[in-house]
Chains A and B, each alone.
Chain A
Amino acid sequence: MSSKNKKQAAASGKKKGDEQRENSILQAVVLTDSYQTRFRPLTLEEPRCLLPLANVPLIEYTLEWLAFAGVKDVFIFASTHSDKIEEYIRSSKWNKPSSPFDKCQIVMSPSSFSVGDAMRELDGKGMITTDFLLINGDFVSTLPLEDVLRVHRNRRAKDKNAIMTMILRKASSSYSKKPWGERGLFVLDESTDRCIHYEEMRPSKKKAPIPVKLRKEHPTMRIRADLIDCQVDICSPDVPALFTENFDYQHIRRDFLHGILVDFDLYGKTIHTHIVTDGYAARVRSLQTYDSVSKDIIGRRTFPFVPDSNLGTDQNYTVNGHNIYQEEDVILARDSKVGRNTILGRGVNIGEGSSVGNSIIGNGCKIGKNVELDGAYIWENVVIGDGCKIQKSIVASNSVLGNNCLINGAVVSYGVKVEDGTKFEPGQMITSYTLKQASSEVSVADDERAAVPGIDYEDSEDDYTEDEKININRDGLAYSREDEEAYLSSSSIDLIDNLPGEDSDSDSDDEGHIKRTAKTGRSDSTTSFEDADEAWHREAYTSLLGAMENDHPAEVANLELNGLRMTANANFHQVRRAVSAALVARIDQVATKTGVAIGKVVTQTLERWETTIRRCVFERKDEVDFLLLSQRECLHKPAGPNILSAMAQVLNNTMELISEEAINDWWVDVRSSEDEKMAAVRKPTEAFIQWLADAETESESEGDDEDEEEESDDDYNAAAYHSRFLETECQSIGNFATLPFRQTKDAQLMTSHVDPDSPDYDILDDILDSFRANIMFRNFKIDGNADCTLIYGILWISECLRMLQPEKPQDPLPTLNQALVKLRSSAHENIVLPGDAKFPLNQYFQSPGSAADQLRTYITQMRMELAGRLVARLYADGTGKPSKWWLAFSKRKFMSVSLSAF
């Protein structure tokens, strides 16, 4: 520790000495979690960034590259398996005093379910104050950063709205033929390298709309689909802030990039690209890329990050001709053959007559006699019996394969024991995960970590499309996964968790240890251990989901469900559970497959299956129960929080299936926030709850156009709120109602909300209460003079919020007194009256004519008073900082106008 201090002291000394170095060194944020499930079942047990790639954990490549590029501060963001990542990093060389990083900090964020969540957390913790590099923990590269950063810096110096530079690599000519899951289509303005439009392409989505207006604004643009996007971005602190502002952004490309570019008019931020041709860059994001990156490492494309550089501690590889890398203590039988492109780890023992080629074998593996390995990735301490043949497969650590096994294109996860003579078909994935969990409870006495027999890992939703299957075939590599992001739903996790323990007496059967769980989940085997309720749930869930997938009429599905309920004497709670699980799974499935906004999918799906929900939800407590169950289902979906939020809105607002009281009950129910995860999942819904609270009383559905919904990112399916004072008789100047309001003194600032029913409730309370509900709207139908006052008030509040927003993101937020002074002083300035040339909404407001002075006085007082009450609300939480939930609206423009712009 002392050395570290010394180092820092020395570093600061250096800074004084060297004036040129006043710039701070680029920081890096490494996201270790991909928020995908493509490496399941392997990632059930180990985080993806610790999976070995050429016998070295993946994250090592990323960190080595950062050190190579000269990065000093690293933040490692860990969510799933964060404990394992932390343990690994703490004991690694990156945490030692000799580490090239001055700071290597692990940020635990178990509640993050997407890049968006991570960025919001980053913003919330305020750790980043300068531009930073955002990369993933599965990134393998040799790109030099210096030039890229120089370009970025120059651009930032000229234009501070250039918030992000994406580093893209030009692909080789054969790229277009390679199989792919998703790819970006970039529309670039070549003269400035600016990215002006982005579409995510999928094999199932072959068309991309490009807005016409871009053509007008950019006379020359280039549409490129040949760029490999490793999601390496140099971001300004604005980027996390924008994520916070748009709490529904999940994916950095699909949501963030697309959103910021589409809403350029709103945010005014530009995003640029830097296309590199030299150097190597790739991400290990699927089993296929795992295979190709492994080959690149063996082929030395990643030089100097190759095994014989021995970057890891205790590594001692040597390489000889034909790219055969060998650690120390390798024992090869006399007539065994080691072919080209092979890595042999420490202590590998290869038996007589075996041949190995194009493979990577981890430390301590024992390979029997007459074994053939081709394109096999064998991790650590695997024992392979005599006469096995393994092709294009992954065998994870501590597995034991019996004699004469045939494995082709399969994945065998950790610690699986495979019987003699077993054959695995392409695409099979074998895990012992569930059994380990179970057996740890049952047989503690079994101390030695004996490999347990595996069971087939199968998803209930094999929903990849036809193209992807073709890709799989073309690739030659038999892994059946270049699948869609988050294809795996919670329900299948449930399925895994609930798989029955294996019968030990089925040994007579050759396949006894590898039993397939049928896709339908109709496993008529071994119900003895199984909870009857679970079985019923699974059955009902599968049948319902099947009906949804095949688009059966709702009546048919209802009948089937009812039949199931009768036969098993299931209660309605179980029915609700099945229904909610199926709905959430279906929504997630459709949303990920089609890429349509979640809000829309939710509306469609829920409306389609309305009768089904109605048949199991009867009263308020059922409604609460249904919401709770849905929340629990959303827990495991990456998009879960958004689905939940959208569901709550649609169920309450559009369909009126669930009352506001029920939603409130659910919200306060302890079960809905019983642990961190549950709390995290319902977080996006908070805005809706707030909105409900704000807009509690009468509301007329009026604004119904789709436009609103599109614009407001959140699919609010509601109408704007009118003033409650429409009926109140009062004086008006022009059509501006000069309603009376209370005047408060400073001392009274902190007064709590006034109840809407009390006689004290005035127009200003009304404005403040309905502000957040109304700000989203671009259209507002004026129903009376009080509405005009309301509009003016809303515009003024959003003006105030804008003023409170610091100019630079790193500036501190104003304190209560600063805010008060600032707003009060500006309340007197630049008052524009309806009828003035500058006033933005003259088409709605009548000119006050001769009463202009009178109106000016009224408006000034109103502005003063509103500013005071706004500040009171902003700082109501007593933290000394304005509430995020208000400031988030500062960039919104009510009715697309603002007072100051004119």
Chain B
Amino acid sequence: MTSQMVDIHTPGLKWWLTHLETEFHSTDSVDRYIDVLKRRSIRNPTPAAVGTAQLCLRLIGSHKFTTIGNLVEYVLNIEAKLSTARPKEMSIRNMVRRVLGIIREEAENNGQLAMFNAAMEASEAREEAPKTPSSASRPTILTSHASFAGTNQAAMTSLFNIFNVHSPQVLSTATTPLHSGVNTPVQHLPPGTSPHITKDIKPAVMQDIRELVDELESSDSAIAEFGPQLLPRNEIVMTYGLPPLIHKLLLKAAHKKDHDFTVVVVEGSPNIMKQTHAAFMNMGSLSDEDEEAEEQTAARKSLQDRGVQMILIPDSNIYNFIPRVNKVLLAANYVLADGSVVTTSGALNLARAAKAYSKPVVVLAGSHTLCPVTTYNPENFVEYGPPPTISSDDDDLLSMADFPNPLQDFIKPDFVTMFVTNNGINPKETINRTTLDLYHMTEPDLV
């Protein structure tokens, strides 16, 4: 009988990691990953970041390259491929950019920065050549960022072309972070001039990527470490839903003896209702799609048991409670360079209330969610999900109505007070610097 038993595993991050371990193939795996991303089998910033970092690790490990130019071109290629899969899931792109940053760092350590920059430029030039041959000397990296939002590329390119015409020199020093200060005489160095040196940096790059993965995996708990600091005794905080990140932080804070505080949890319909209720009743898992976490969940002592007072309110009730609250906690999906926050839809409402009553809004964000981009068009970051089921007796009315269901809210920097990342607490004003340093850039991309 057992031989007849069939099984099925919905693909997810776990499936993807097993796939990388057992069936990795340098080109097929990339295509598969793109498919999986498009199908939303892997979604949410953290799983997407982990999946991408692991993929990069394998790809670079298996890729045989002779020069830095080779490697950079290869990574840029991956970036271009992956970022079109899900432009709105920016952690995918962030990870590839971090890898690029790692390569740059290692190149610098080995005194090959010039080669790195040359490679960046060369690939830029190649990319641009068919479109605008005149702008070959244009600042690098920018165009590859331009496809961040996929379709806005055309608009961006033209914008920079305008600048280019007027003052190419000024711009090239100001906007090319990756060869900052280096006036490269080897700009058009053909790849392959010094073929053997680069072999040295591969192990170092791999090691750095591994460290990046470790950082990713410990990111949540590193943020949770700030819990006691953020929540002094008798504090009353309000959270929008109870996402794993906040839940962890609260648990950590409550861990301390005699550390009692009150949490007001806002439930929002339709997207986070179930998750919030589960977490509230201490049944939710603390990390995205981790099956083993269920056991931990069962063993975990709930917030209530640890002496925290928990209040669950509907989002219509925010304004009644906000005057009594000391602080608002939000978990970010993404943080843009200017301090804008992309987060669960409905949170904007809470942020507005907090602003109206001058309550501080603290945003929790792992470093992989910091994006070196700014935007004029918040719509670019909002994805629309399936509409909730509306039942009505009036079919004609239903057929006339649209039911948009945005999955994210875009919160402008004015509503945010400070950010807590795994690297420390940042006031809003410094997040720009922190983000750009992370990617070795001097200026964010415009999306």
Q: List A residues 872-897 near B (Cβ within 8 Å).
A: none
Are A173 and B31 closer than 8 Å at their CB atoms? no
Q: Residues of A contacting B36 with CB < 8 Å?
A: 100
A733 contacts chain B at the CB level, 8 A cutoff: no
CA distance A71 to B150 in the complex (A): 31
Inter-subunit contact B22/A299 (CB<8 Å): no
Cα distance, A144 to B320, chains bound together (Å): 39
State the CA gap A71–B39 with chains docked (Å).
14
Quick one: given A14-B22, A174-B391, A300-B386, are A25 and B40 in contact (CB under 8 Å)?
no
Check A130–B32 contact: CB distance below 8 A: no
Given contacts A7-B23, A153-B5, A318-B151, contact A144 B10 (CB under 8 A): yes
Task: Contact check, B7 vs A153: say whether CB atoms are below 8 A apart.
Answer: yes
Q: Give every chain B residue within 8 A of A300 (Cβ-Cβ).
A: 384-387, 405
Q: How far is the CB of A277 from chain B (nearest CB, A)?
A: 9
**A4: nearest residue on chain B (CB-CB)?**
B28
B183 proximal to A (CB < 8 A): no
Q: Which of A320-328, A619-627, A659-667, A796-804 contacts B (4 or more CB under 8 A)?
A: A320-328
From A67, A132, A157, A319, B1 is in contact (CB under 8 Å) with A157
B393 interface contact, C-beta 8 A: yes
B131 interfacial contact with A, CB 8 Å? no
What residues of chain A lie closer than 8 Å to B229, measured between beta carbons? none
Q: Does A850 contact B (CB under 8 A)?
A: no
Judge whether A69 and B385 touch: CB under 8 Å: no
**Cα–Cα distance between A129 and B4 once the two chains are bound (Å):** 7
Give the distance in Å from the alpha carbon of A230 to the alpha carbon of B134 in the complex: 58
B8 engages A149 (CB within 8 Å) = yes
Are B4 and A130 neighbours in the complex by a CB distance under 8 Å? yes
Q: Which of A259-317 contact B (CB under 8 A)?
A: 280, 299-304, 309-311, 316
A474, closest chain B residue (CB) = B395
Residues of B within 8 A of A13 (CB): 22
Contact A301 B387 (CB under 8 A): yes
> What's the least CB distance linking A181 to chain B, in Å?
18
Q: In this assembly, does A26 line the interface, its C-beta being within 8 Å of a C-beta of chain B?
A: yes
Interface residue B27 (Cβ < 8 Å from any Cβ of A):
yes
Q: Give chain A nearest CB distance to B292 CB in angstroms.
A: 13
- CB distance A14 to B7 under 8 Å? no
The smallest beta-carbon distance between B40 and chain A, in angstroms, is: 4
Q: Chain A: which residue is nearest B22 at the CB level?
A: A14
Q: For the complex, what is the distance from the CA of A7 to the CA of B151, rounded to whole Å?
A: 35
**A100, B32: Cβ atoms closer than 8 Å:** yes
Which among A145, A157, A280, A810 is the interface contact of B8 at CB below 8 angstroms? A145
Chain A contacts for B40, CB-based, 8 A: 303-304, 309
A3/B28 in contact, CB under 8 A:
yes
Is B387 within 8 A of A311, CB to CB?
A: no
Contact, CB under 8 Å: B4 / A172: no
Contact status A299-B387, CB under 8 Å: yes
**CB pair B25 A7 closer than 8 Å:** yes
Measured CA separation A470–B404 after assembly (Å): 33
**B9 in complex: contacting residue of A146, A236, A319, A340, CB < 8 Å:** A146
Establish whether residues A172 and B389, one from each chain, have CB atoms under 8 Å apart when the complex forms: yes
- Closest partner residue, chain B, to A236 (CB atom): B4
Do B15 and A70 have beta carbons less than 8 Å apart? yes
Question: Any chain A CB within 8 A of the CB of B38?
Answer: yes
Name the residue of chain A whose CB is nearest to the CB of B33.
Answer: A98
**Which residues from B are CB-within-8-Å of A6?**
23, 25
A205 within 8 A of partner (CB)? no
Task: Assess whether A319 is in contact with B384, with CB atoms less than 8 Å apart.
Answer: yes
Closest to A312 in B: B38
Chain B residue with Cβ nearest A304: B40
| A251: Cβ under 8 A from any B Cβ | no
The minimal Cβ–Cβ distance linking B405 to chain A, given in whole angstroms, is 7
B211 lies within 8 A of chain A by Cβ: no
**Contacts A14-B22, A280-B386; is A309 near B8 (CB within 8 Å)?**
no
B38 and A24: CB pair below 8 A?
Answer: no
Q: Is there a chain A Cβ closer than 8 Å to B392's Cβ?
A: yes
List the B side residues contacting A173 at CB < 8 Å.
Answer: 391, 393
B193 an interface residue at 8 Å Cβ cutoff? Answer: no
CB proximity of B388 to chain A, nearest CB, Å = 10
Are B25 and A26 in contact, with the CB atoms below 8 A? no
A160 adjacent to B1 (CB under 8 Å):
yes
Chain A residue at smallest Cβ distance from B28: A98
Interface flags, A54-85, vs B, CB<8A=1, else 0: 00000000001001111100000000000000
Give chain B residues whose Cβ lies under 8 Å from the Cβ of A21.
Answer: 7
Q: Which residues of chain B have C-beta atoms less than 8 A from A301's C-beta?
A: 386-387
B41 at the A interface (CB under 8 A)? yes
Render B378-401 as a binary contact track against A, CB cut-off 8 A, 1 for contact.
010000111101011101001000
| Given A11-B22, A300-B387: A174 touches B7 (CB 8 Å cut-off) | no
Q: Is B295 an interface residue (CB 8 A)?
A: no
A68 touches B39 (CB 8 A): yes
Query: Shortest distance in angstroms between A4's beta carbon and chain B's nearest beta carbon?
Result: 9
Other-chain residue from A153, A302, A304, A322 in contact with B38 (beta carbon distance below 8 A): A304
**B7–A24 contact, CB under 8 A?**
yes
The docked-state distance in angstroms from the alpha carbon of A313 to that of B416 is 40
- A67-B39, A98-B28 known; A172-B18 Cβ under 8 A: no
The docked-state distance in angstroms from the alpha carbon of A303 to that of B10 is 16
B258 within 8 A of partner (CB):
no
User: In whole angstroms, how far apart are the Cα atoms of A13 and B404 in the complex?
Assistant: 46
Query: Is B403 in the interface zone, CB < 8 Å from A?
Result: yes
B389 / chain A contacts, CB cutoff of 8 Å: 172
Q: Is the CB of B386 within 8 A of A70?
A: no
B305 contacts A by Cβ under 8 Å = no
In the assembled complex, the Cα of A320 lies from the Cα of B377 at a distance in Å of 12
Chain B residue nearest to A305 in the complex (CB): B39
**Cα distance A318–B88 when bound, in Å?**
11
Complex interface: chain B residues within 8 A of A146 (CB):
8-10
Residue on B nearest A96 in the bound complex, by CB: B31
Closest residue of chain A to B405, judged by CB?
A: A300
Q: A26-B7, A130-B6 are in contact. Are A11 and B151 (CB under 8 A)?
A: no
In angstroms, Cα B391 to Cα A321, docked, is 23
Residue of A nearest to B396 (CB): A476
Closest Cβ–Cβ distance, residue A392 to chain B (whole Å)? 12
A100-B11 CB under 8 A given contacts A300-B386, A340-B402: yes
Residue A203, interface by CB 8 Å: no
Q: Give A789 to B3 CA distance when docked, in angstroms.
A: 43
A residues 140-179 in Cβ contact with B at 8 Å: 142, 144-146, 149, 153, 156-157, 160, 172-174, 177
Which one of B3, B379, B386 has the greatest number of beta carbons of chain A within 10 Å? B386
CA distance A160 to B3 in the complex (A): 12
**Which residues of the other chain, B, contact A69 by a CB distance below 8 angstroms?**
8, 10
Assembly CA distance A319 to B311 (angstroms): 38
Contacts of A14 in B (CB 8 A): 18, 22-23
CB distance from B356 to the nearest CB of A (A): 27
Closest-CB distance, B138 to chain A (whole angstroms)? 23
Chain A residues, Cβ within 8 Å of B22: 10-11, 13-14, 17
Min CB–CB distance B186 → chain A (angstroms): 37
Please provide the chain B residues from 13 to 64 with a CB less than 8 Å away from any CB of chain A in the complex: 15, 18, 22-23, 25, 27-32, 35-36, 38-41
**17 intermolecular pairs with C-beta atoms under 8 Å apart:** A6-B25, A18-B18, A25-B9, A27-B6, A67-B11, A67-B39, A70-B9, A98-B31, A100-B32, A130-B4, A131-B4, A153-B5, A300-B384, A311-B38, A311-B39, A316-B151, A340-B402
Knowing that A7-B28, A68-B39, A303-B40 touch, tell me 17 more A-B residue pairs with CB under 8 angstroms.
A6-B25, A23-B5, A130-B5, A131-B4, A132-B6, A145-B8, A145-B10, A156-B5, A160-B1, A173-B393, A299-B403, A303-B385, A309-B39, A311-B38, A320-B379, A321-B379, A323-B402
